[in-house]
Amino acid sequence: MRGMYNRQVETLPATSLLLLLTLSLLSGLWACSPSNAGTLPATSLPPTATKTRVPPLPTLPSITLTPTPLTCLSQPGELQNGEVPTEVRPTAFIVYLPPCYDQFPEQRYPVLYLLNGQTYTADQWVRLGAPAAADKLIHSGQSVPFIMVFPEDRYWNLDLGTRFGQYLLNDVIPYIDGHFRTLADRSHRALGGLSRGGGWAFQLGMTRPDLFGSLGLHSPAIFAENRSMLERWVRGMPPELWPRLYLDVGDNDRERLFNTSVEEVFTKYGLPHEWHLNTGAHDEAYWSAHVDEYIQWYAEGWP
């Protein structure tokens, strides 16, 4: 029997033997395959790129842009002459426009009205040095730029002169606000005067405190008809309308005694003010000696 079995194996045909070998090979491959053999093979990663070192860009020097300074910033302000139409005769004036007024057409400015003394004309404050004092403050940065107006009280000895205050309020101030770039409100409008001009400043400042935030009385020659009104005007002025006040006079001034009584009334009613009794008389030598102080005081009031 054993011999017969061997012969049967040995006599297997070649095709059968080939089939057995193929099945054996397939079963070996199946046994060696991992459990996730049915998934797609992973895509091979590309070779790592070689890094190339890029040199840094050179550092450029910083550039600071410096604006070209305006020449006008070191130049004096401009003086212009003009006239304001009134119902009888025009009122002449000189206006001081601060440095660079034309270069900044959108800018608006505080305005100071300074009134001349009796027998003098609109150029009195110019001769005393008011424009030069303003230039100094503006150039040094101690003050914001501002406009000054010098209206002329020319007809002091005529009936027309008694209406100067009316013309100033009704004609001059509206004209200036309409033709120049002023800040047309009380806090940016100041009024001052010397001698007769100080008398006008007193009358207008006491009766229209709603128009002027600062009031300067320099050796004021207060009108006889206003002297009896002094205490009534001060007593009736609402505290919220009290202006900044500056009163000064020389110790050899003929108006010294009454100006001293004015200061006493201010003190009596608690009206804040500056009081200066200086050495000097009622003349241009005294006013020119103190014009820098006056203009600086006005400038300090601009908010």
Domains of the chain listed by start with CATH number: 77-300 (3.40.50.1820)
Over the chain, what is the mean pLDDT?
84
pLDDT tens readout for residues 202-239? 999 999 999 999 999 999 999 999 999 999 999 999 99
Least confident of 2-11, 57-66, 155-164, 169-178: 2-11
Q: 197 Cβ partners below 8 Å, 6+ apart? A: 114, 115, 116, 117, 153
- When pLDDT is averaged across residues 278-293 and rounded to a whole number, the result is 98
The answer on pLDDT for 32 being more than 60 is no
Let me know how many helices (H) and strands (E) the chain has, helices first: 11, 8
Residues written for the chain: 303
The answer on pLDDT for 114 being more than 60 is yes
Rounded-to-integer distance, Cα 260 and Cα 248, Å: 9
Q: pLDDT value at position 158?
A: 76
The answer on pLDDT for 73 being more than 90 is no
Rounded-to-integer distance, Cα 81 and Cα 123, Å: 10
Q: Tell me the pLDDT band of 64, cut-offs 50, 70 and 90.
A: low
Q: pLDDT value at position 160?
A: 72
- When pLDDT is averaged across residues 184-203 and rounded to a whole number, the result is 97
Q: pLDDT value at position 215?
A: 98
Between 55 and 250, name the one with better pLDDT.
Answer: 250
Q: pLDDT value at position 41?
A: 45
- When pLDDT is averaged across residues 140-155 and rounded to a whole number, the result is 95
| 3-class secondary structure, 190 | strand
Q: pLDDT value at position 55?
A: 58
The answer on pLDDT for 5 being more than 50 is no
Q: Tell me the pLDDT band of 133, cut-offs 50, 70 and 90.
A: very high
Between 106 and 49, name the one with better pLDDT.
Answer: 106
Q: pLDDT value at position 156?
A: 77
pLDDT tens readout for residues 80-96? 999 999 888 899 999 99
Q: 164 Cβ partners below 8 Å, 6+ apart? A: 91, 151, 153, 155, 156, 200
Contact 165, 204 (CB under 8 A): yes
Q: What percentage of residues in the chain have a pLDDT greater than 70? A: 77
pLDDT tens readout for residues 255-273? 999 999 999 999 999 999 9
Rounded-to-integer distance, Cα 49 and Cα 209, Å: 86
Q: Tell me the pLDDT band of 58, cut-offs 50, 70 and 90.
A: low
Q: pLDDT value at position 18?
A: 41
- When pLDDT is averaged across residues 36-41 and rounded to a whole number, the result is 42
The answer on pLDDT for 195 being more than 80 is yes
Between 10 and 127, name the one with better pLDDT.
Answer: 127
What is the phi/psi pair of residue 171, to 5°?
A: -120, -50
Q: pLDDT value at position 265?
A: 96
| 3-class secondary structure, 77 | coil
